[in-house]
Amino acid sequence: MLRDASLWKPLLPFPKTANALAGLEKLSGYYAQAIASGMSFGIFDTQYRFKQPSLAARNQMLHWRGPNSPLDPGQTSFETYGASQMQDSMDFPLVCMALSVDAFASGDARARSGLLDLIPLQQQLSSFLISVSANYGGGKTKGKRKTSASLTLTDYGQVLVRSGCVTRLGYEGQGLATALNHFVMLEAKAGGFRGIKVGVSNASLLRNSYSNPPPGCRTEILAHWNFEDIEMRDEYGTIIRPYLGSGLKDGWEVWCDLTG
């Protein structure tokens, strides 16, 4: 939530850093669904050296939890220094992760409520993305979409919805996200999934992961938009463009056909 060019950061209410910290607890149910899907994966640094091995042995790898936490979100300075303090307080070998949910699974209403409670503007973002996807290409893609991304779902294990991929600070530029995204495609294909739908907001990720899929997979762009053009209404009814200057530019909705 606090990364540069983040999808979430521009939508987080102030104080952003304190709310990002609160999001760890509020969104636990939101991410639990992805973890429980059996199709979420991570890359781990096998040479990682724990900062506090004794705590890691007890599965305590977030050092901001507990009575000795170095974090104080009540302090004004936390908005400036909290992100680096949180980064320093993470002590685990997970360095890249790819979340997925089965498109047939119904979402947890409480988890969805927790997301909107933390990030109210998320609902407007969802509405925008649904609209731009439906109208992409002036309706020219609707016929193609009917046979691919809009498959009628009858059971689990047919379409996977990717819910994000992130590489930890300090591990970028090594191709980890591309390798992991390709791994998920091949795992889903081997598991009988017919396709994957994913939102992409990074041009290099689009180029390396999805425009160059592994053998047996084929991709097509279902929608394209400019984040800076997105308009929303804040709590006062004022029209805002939250992504102006955020570093996010282009966004794409991609369909990955696994039936080849």
One pLDDT digit (tens) per residue for the chain, 260 residues: 888 889 999 999 999 999 999 998 888 888 888 999 999 999 999 999 999 999 999 999 999 888 888 899 999 999 999 999 999 999 999 999 999 999 999 878 888 899 999 999 999 999 999 999 888 875 554 444 444 566 789 999 999 999 879 999 999 999 999 999 999 999 999 999 999 999 999 999 999 999 999 999 999 999 999 999 999 999 999 999 999 999 999 999 999 999 98
Closest listed residue to residue 19, CA positions, set 30, 31, 8, 5: 8
- The string of DSSP letters for 126-181 reads HHHHHHHHHHGGGGTTHHHHHTTTT----SSSSEEEEEEEEE-TT-TTSSHHHHHH
The pLDDT score that the predictor gives to residue 67 is: 81
The pLDDT score that the predictor gives to residue 146 is: 41
pTM score, whole prediction: 0.91
The pLDDT score that the predictor gives to residue 163 is: 84
The pLDDT score that the predictor gives to residue 240 is: 98
The pLDDT score that the predictor gives to residue 149 is: 61
Closest listed residue to residue 83, CA positions, set 137, 15, 7, 148: 15
Nearest 5°: phi and psi at 6?
-90, 145
The pLDDT score that the predictor gives to residue 68 is: 81
Q: How far is CA 53 from the centre of its chain?
A: 29
The 3-state DSSP class for residue 105 equals: coil
In the 8-state DSSP scheme, what is residue 15?
S
Sign of CA dihedral 168, 119, 20, 240: positive
- Cross-strand partners of 160: 102, 196
The 3-state DSSP class for residue 40 equals: coil
Measured CA to CA in angstroms, residue 28 lies from 33, 34, 36, 200, 239 at distances of: 9, 10, 12, 23, 31
- The string of DSSP letters for 107-123 reads PPHHHHHHHHHH-TTHH
| Contacts (Cβ under 8 Å, ≥6 apart) of 183 | 41, 98
Answer yes or no: are the C-beta atoms of 193 and 156 closer than 8 Å. Answer: no
CA atoms within 13 Å, Cβ hemisphere of 255 = 20
Place of tokens 């609160």: 22
The pLDDT score that the predictor gives to residue 179 is: 97
- Which of the four CATH numbers 3.40.630.30, 3.40.50.920, 3.40.50.300, 2.40.37.10 does domain 31-47+94-257 have? 3.40.630.30
> For the chain, what are the domain ranges?
31-47+94-257
The pLDDT score that the predictor gives to residue 148 is: 55
Q: List the alpha helices (DSSP H) in the chain.
A: 16-26, 28-36, 53-56, 78-88, 109-118, 122-135, 142-146, 176-190, 203-205
Q: How far apart are CA 194 and CA 188, in angstroms?
A: 8
The pLDDT score that the predictor gives to residue 260 is: 86
Q: At what angle do helices 109-118 and 122-135 cross, to 10 degrees?
A: 110
